[in-house]
Each structure stands twice: as structure tokens, then as C-alpha cells.
Amino acid sequence: MSFDLAVVVAALPAILAGLQVTLGIWLAALALGIGLGFAVAALRHFGPGPLGLALRLAVEVLRGTPFLIQIFLLYFGGPFVGIRLDPVPAGLLGLSVYAAAYFSEIFRAGFVAVPRGHVEAAQCVGLSRAQIVRRILVPEMTMLVLPQCVNMAVILVKETAILSIIAVPEATAVISALGSQQYAFVESLFLLALIYWLLVEACGWAGRALERRLSKFRFA
Amino acid sequence: MTLPAPAIAIRRLCKSYGQTEVLHGIDLEIARGATTCLIGPSGSGKSTLLRCIAFLEEATSGTILVNGQPLGFEEQADGRRRRLPQARIREVRSGIGMVFQQFNLWPHMTALGNVTEALVTVQGLSRREAGERGMAQLRRVGLEARARHYPSELSGGQQQRVAIARALALEPKILLFDEPTASLDPELTGEVLNVMRDLGDEGMTMVVVTHEIGFAATVGQRIVFLDHGRVLLNGPPAELFAPPRHPRLTQFLETYLDRGAAMLLKPA
Amino acid sequence: MTARLFELMLKAAGYTVVISVASIGIGLLVGILVCAAKLSPRPWLRWPAGVFVSFFRGVPLLVQLLLIYNLLPAVGIVVPSVVAALVGLSLCTAAYQAENLRGGFASVPRGLLEAADMAGLSPWQQFRRIRAPIALRLTVPALVNEAILILKASSLVSVVGVIELTRTAQNLAASTYEPLLFYSVAGGLYLAINWIVAGGGALAERGLRRGRLA
């Protein structure tokens, strides 16, 4: 077993293209997941009861089942109910909805964790409901949930690898295909592991740097 | 007639954390069978001093003799300190009990379990014997009925009384208290102070770091006032609190005014 | 879906549970060792443990499984795919459980150990009687959480050819052209198992509640 660098160099354009797909889907799902997750958390926190219950059920189901099953349902089951998607949009949609479920739980816990006294103090000085949400709850919550959000971002990078199973041309699909064509499976998988590991470490590092920068806003 | 040897003798004790020195050469003797109260502003070093006596902190220099035995370090002929073997340290420390501000009861054990833990694991007593002795100590602090409760099921005052029973179970010669009522609600401090008062009446040697000036003045036979890591005043409460008072002490009493202190400050 | 096919799915779900439980158990044992190494004052123990944790938490489980599945034969170890799957799942969860344990040990208040010190307990007695029991209690919620994560993650071993719940659903979906039905049933079964695990965890936590940090 020897690592043939020439194989990697020759396939570099393909590898970079795969990486680009991984990064693109990751960042898009992250943004969509955060936006959708925040909306769900806000609706569950402030919205009418029955809606909250329905959303809770949906979140429970999404968090209680494997992502692989969800993506199979969407990609293979979708056409039977008129949802016919190519691998990339299917992967992006599936990953975003999956992420939204987890983000909504993070935000919901964040809303609850903001001390009641801070809200009461805002009520006393006459802030409106909307102002309290915008000026007090959201900024305080952001500080509280930042570490979990970074954690979730890391989980999402790793979940993108699963999309290779429905033939999304991302890094895992491209590099393992390369490996089997060249009979260099172990080498290419090590390369792949290294790429993810660097991505995850970089993400964790960036998250910690952001936390440090925001730490001065942290309440005692 | 020779004076009885002090329970604790402290010589030139210094303690630094990195660059900052918090105790600057403490010289102090703690009398046997008496209650000594350490008072002083926060940051004066009183808790650090107490933790040095408990050997939870290692002093940077100086010596502490407990019942005549060196604690932790021994001064050699050339003036250098030598760390004593672990067995000696343990032996000397076994004569000291400690009660913490945060109680520090072990949450996974019942009240009785907390009191008997060291009797079983350190002294090797049988469970039955340890249980009997533990119950006796709980009775002493009035908590026999709570023996099977876990710390999470007890009030703060009850937790602290269990902590006192835990310290008493090992039959220490000296009991150290680090602000034992500081994390209690005001209405719960009384029960703890009463237990301590009874112990004092029984002749236990106690060193109490406290902000309860009223308790210090009435139960303490000796008051040690620390300021900026030095012993500023040391004497019986009647002497210390009576006018003319040291200006630093007056300043301190005015800042830490509680009911007891207010009483003391009122001109007679 | 006929009763026979449903029975097949149930059996596969049982297999998924067996794989998950075995992985969690092996992972806990390995995790304890890794945690001990990480807390060790010796750099030659701490450093590899750190790399182990960082690697298995930083690389997607799918890639880990593919690596182990292909690496073992490449170095001359021929094992059934289920063994490769177990190795992958166990090592992955071991890394997470080691971190959970480390967090538990770090959360034991220092004062409780000082109290033990004052009571004369030796360092080993302090560890065995005070530190470890409290730390383990603190990690129970994280352990339950990890069990649920591993149960879901075990669906990935279908990729290396283990015929568990997901793979069975895949096979049946392909042969009957009813992916909606079989993937939904599989999802429902995963959900049901997770609820049972979560319920059991809640019961265990309630049982330990009296001894929680006061």
C-alpha cells in the first residue's frame, strides 16, 4: 500500500469541485437551517398553542430519526407524491430541514434561559413586546446559544458526507469514486478524512474566536 | 507554672499566589479550648489563613504547629523547609476538622452517609459501628430524624449542621469554620450558630472566620482582626470592641454593620 | 405491507438495537480509558488520547466506516462487515463518551474534594468514593443522549453491507417499489426505540435525583 501522489494531483480539479459542492451545501444548509430554526422556535415560544404542538411533533420526528432515512424518504419517496428533485437540491432541502429542527431546539432553550428579570426590567422601562424580543431576548440568547450553534455547524459538515449516498457529487462521493477507480481506496479515504478533520477544526477554531470576541457582552 | 501549649502556633507565615502576596508574615497562637474568631474585610486574608491551617493551601514560607506538631513542613537547622512525608501530614491533619462556607456535602450520599464515610473508609470501622457513631453526631446537631435524607432534600441550615456532624465524627481536637453562615438565609443562621455555641461551651477548640460580629463578640473568647494580610489586632472582644477602638476596626464595623455590630457601636 | 414483511422490519430493528447497545458498551469502556489518558499528567498518554478524540469527532462517521471497512482487509485482517461496523461505531462513540466523562469529572465541585481531603480520604479513596460516583451521575444525561445519537448513526452501517433496519428498508423499498411505506416504517421504528431510550433515561435520572448536587 503506497500513497501515489500523482493520482491525487491528476484528480485535483475533480477533488476541488467536490469540495466546492460540500462547502456550498454546508453553508447554504447552515443559513437556511438557522433562519428556519429561528422561525420555528419563535412560533413555538410566542405563537398559538395548536401550531406550537404541531411544530413540536415535527421537530421530535426529525430529531428522532436518522438523517439517512429522511434523505431516502425525500429522494426516493418524494417522486411518489410529486416531489421530483435532483440529488443536489434534494440534499440541500433535506439537510436544511434537518438542521432547522436542531437549531429550533437550541434557540428555544436559549429563549427560556434568558433570565426573567431581564425581560421584567425591560417591561418596567416601557419596551414593547417586539422591542423586548429584538433588543433584549435575541442578543442575550445569541450569546447563550453560540457554542451550541458552532457545535451544530460542525455536525452539519459531517452530515454532508451522507449525501454521497444519494449521488450528490460532493467530496466523499468524488474522492471515494476516485479511490475505487485507481484501486487506492485507503489512501483516498485518508485524504478525505484529513480534509473533513481540517474543516471541523477550522470551524471549531473560528467559533471559539467569535465567542472570545463576543464574550465582553456576556452578562454575569 | 508553665502556660499550656497553644493548640495552633503560627510563625512568620507568608502565602503568595504568583506575584501577589496575600499573607505577610502572620504570627498567631490559637488557645486550646477556646473559640477564636478571625474577622476582617474581604481580601484581608482570613480565609486563606484558615485554609493554610487546614493544609488545603500550602503556605509559601513560615511554619504552623498543630498540637505541637509541624504541619506539612518542618524547619530544619539551616532554616530551610522540608516537606514532611504524606503519612505524617495525614496524622497531624487528622486532628483538624473543617466546616466550609458552601457546606460541601457529598450529594450522592445521605446525611448519615456523609457523616460515616470517613469512619468506614479511613478509620476502617464496620458499617454498624460507624452508623451508631454517625447517628450520635447527627443527634448532637439535632438532625437524627434527617439521617436518611440526601443533601438536596435538606435546607441550607440543615446541610451545614450535617457538615458540622461530619467534621465532629472524626473527633478532631480543633474545628475550623470558614464563614459557616455566609451562604445561609438570615433566618437559618441561628440554628448553625447555636450548634457552634454549644460546641464552644463543651470546650472545643474552634477557629471561626466570620462576618457575624455579634456572634464573634458573644461567643468568641478571642478576636483576631486581619487587615491586608496582617494581624492588626488580637485580644478578647471586650477589650477590642470597647472604645477607644482602633480606627481600622471602627471603619470595618461600620461597613459590615449587622445587628450585633450596631449594638456594640451604640455608646453605652 | 404484509405481516411477514413487517416482522422482517421488526427483526431488523432488533438487530439495530443489538449493534447500538454493543457499540455503546464497548465505546464506554474505551471511552473510560481514553478519558483517563486525557486526564493523565503524562504527555505521552495525553497527547495520543487528544488526537484520538479529535480525529473521531472531526471525521464523518461514514468516512470512518468506509476507512475501517477497507483498511482492515488491506492490512490482512479479514472480518465480517458487521465487525468492521462495530469497530467503527464503538471508536466513534468512545471519543464522544470520553469527552462527556471528562466534562463530568471537571464539573465535580472542588469543595467536595476538599471536604474529603479534610476527612482524611486518600487520593484514591477520594476518586473512588467521591469523584467518580458524582462525575458518573453528572454524565448520565449525556450518556442517554449519546445512546440516541448512536442508534441513529447506526443506520450508516447499512453502507458497508450490514443488513440492519435501514438496509432492510432499502432492500424492501427497492423490491416492492414502495419507498414511502418502508422508509416511513423504518423511521417510525427508530422513533419508537428512541422514545423508549429517552423514557428509560428520564427514569434513571429521576432515580438518581435524590443524590444530585444540592
Residues 6+ apart with CB under 8 A from A37: A99, A100, A101, A102, A103, A104, A106, A107
B85-104 average pLDDT score? 87
| Banded pLDDT at B141 (limits 50, 70, 90) | very high
Burial class (CB in 10 A: 0-12, 13-18, 19+), A74: buried
- The candidate with the shortest Cα–Cα distance to C153, out of C182, C183, C185, C194, is C194
C180/chain A closest Cα distance in angstroms: 5
Q: Which of B107, B109, B122 sits opposite C120 (nearest CB)?
A: B122
Quick check: A161 and C190 CB within 8 A? no
* pLDDT at site B266: 59
Q: Which of C152, C154, C184 sits opposite A73 (nearest CB)?
A: C184
Count of CB contacts below 8 A, B vs C?
Answer: 81
- The candidate with the shortest Cα–Cα distance to B214, out of B255, B248, B167, B258, is B258
Chain-centroid distance of CA C20 in Å reads 7
**In this prediction, what percent of chain B has a pLDDT beyond 90?**
46
Residue type, C18: V
Which chains, if any, share at least 3 CB pairs under 8 A with chain B? C
Q: What is the dihedral sign for C-alpha B216, B220, B223, B226?
A: negative
* pLDDT at site A220: 40
- Residue C3, chain B, CB below 8 Å: the answer is no
| Banded pLDDT at B265 (limits 50, 70, 90) | low
- The candidate with the shortest Cα–Cα distance to C80, out of C160, C5, C149, is C160
Interface test with B, best of C108, C117, C118 (most B CBs within 10 A): C118
Quick check: C129 and B98 CB within 8 A? no
Q: Strand (E) positions, chain A?
A: none
The CATH architecture of the domain made up of C3-211 is Orthogonal Bundle (1.10)
* pLDDT at site B15: 92
Q: Which of B56, B107, B121 sits opposite C134 (nearest CB)?
A: B107
Residue type, A83: I
* pLDDT 10s digits, C132-147: 889 888 888 889 999 9
Chain C residues in contact with B96 by the CB 8 A cut-off are 118
Quick check: C67 and A190 CB within 8 A? yes
* pLDDT at site B1: 44
* pLDDT 10s digits, C177-206: 888 888 999 999 999 999 999 999 888 888
Lowest mean pLDDT among A176-180, B151-155, B181-185, B213-217: A176-180
Q: Which of C118, C134, C213 sits opposite B98 (nearest CB)?
A: C118
* pLDDT 10s digits, C17-75: 999 999 999 999 999 999 989 988 888 989 999 999 999 998 999 999 988 888 888 78
- The dihedrals phi and psi of B83, each to the nearest 5 degrees, come to -75, 130
Quick check: A186 and C67 CB within 8 A? yes
All three cell numbers of A209: 474566536
- Residue C171, chain A, CB below 8 Å: the answer is no
* pLDDT at site B262: 60
- Whose grid coordinates read 440534499? A91
Quick check: C133 and B108 CB within 8 A? yes
Q: Which C-chain residues 136-195 have CB contacts (< 8 A) with chain B?
A: 137
Q: Hey, where are the domains in chain A?
A: 5-211
* pLDDT at site A102: 94
- Residue C123, chain B, CB below 8 Å: the answer is no
- Residue C86, chain A, CB below 8 Å: the answer is no
* pLDDT at site A5: 66
Measure the CA–CA gap between B60 and B73, rounded to whole angstroms.
10
> Under a CB-based contact definition with an 8 Å cutoff, are residues C175 and C184 in contact?
no
Quick check: C70 and A185 CB within 8 A? yes
CA atoms within 13 A on the CB side of B140: 22
Chain C residues in contact with A19 by the CB 8 A cut-off are none
* pLDDT at site A27: 94
C133/chain A closest Cα distance in angstroms: 27
CB atoms under 10 Å from CB of C1, counted, come to: 13
Chain C residues in contact with B153 by the CB 8 A cut-off are 210
User: For chain A, which ranges sit under pLDDT 50?
Assistant: 1, 219-220
Sheet containing B35-39, strands listed edge to edge, beginning at the edge strand earlier in sequence: B96-99, B174-178, B205-209, B35-39, B222-227, B230-235
Average pLDDT, chain B: 87
Quick check: B104 and C115 CB within 8 A? yes
* pLDDT 10s digits, C153-186: 999 999 888 888 999 998 888 888 888 888 999 9
B127-155 average pLDDT score? 92
Burial class (CB in 10 A: 0-12, 13-18, 19+), B152: middle
Measure the CA–CA gap between A213 and A210, rounded to whole angstroms.
5
The ipTM assigned to this model is: 0.88
> Under a CB-based contact definition with an 8 Å cutoff, are residues C185 and A65 in contact?
no
B152-160 average pLDDT score? 91
Q: Is the pLDDT of residue C91 over 60?
A: yes
Q: Hey, where are the domains in chain B?
A: 107-171
CA-only gyration radius of chain B, Å:
19
Q: Is the pLDDT of residue B95 over 80?
A: yes
- Residue C54, chain A, CB below 8 Å: the answer is yes
Q: Strand (E) positions, chain B?
A: 8-17, 20-30, 35-39, 61-66, 69-70, 73-75, 81-83, 96-99, 174-178, 205-209, 222-227, 230-235
Quick check: C115 and B100 CB within 8 A? yes
Measure the CA–CA gap between B162 and A22, rounded to whole angstroms.
59
What crossing angle do the helices spanning A12-46 and A49-64 adopt, rounded to 10°? 150
- The candidate with the shortest Cα–Cα distance to A173, out of A11, A7, A5, A22, is A22
Measure the CA–CA gap between B225 and B219, rounded to whole angstroms.
16
Q: Is the pLDDT of residue B268 over 60?
A: no
Instruction: Quote the CATH superfamily of domain A5-211.
Output: MetI-like (1.10.3720.10)
Report yes or no on chains A and B touching (3+ CB pairs under 8 A): no
B174-203 average pLDDT score? 90
* pLDDT 10s digits, C65-86: 988 888 888 788 888 888 989 9
Lowest mean pLDDT among A187-191, B28-32, B218-222, C90-94: A187-191
Q: What is the pTM of this model?
A: 0.81
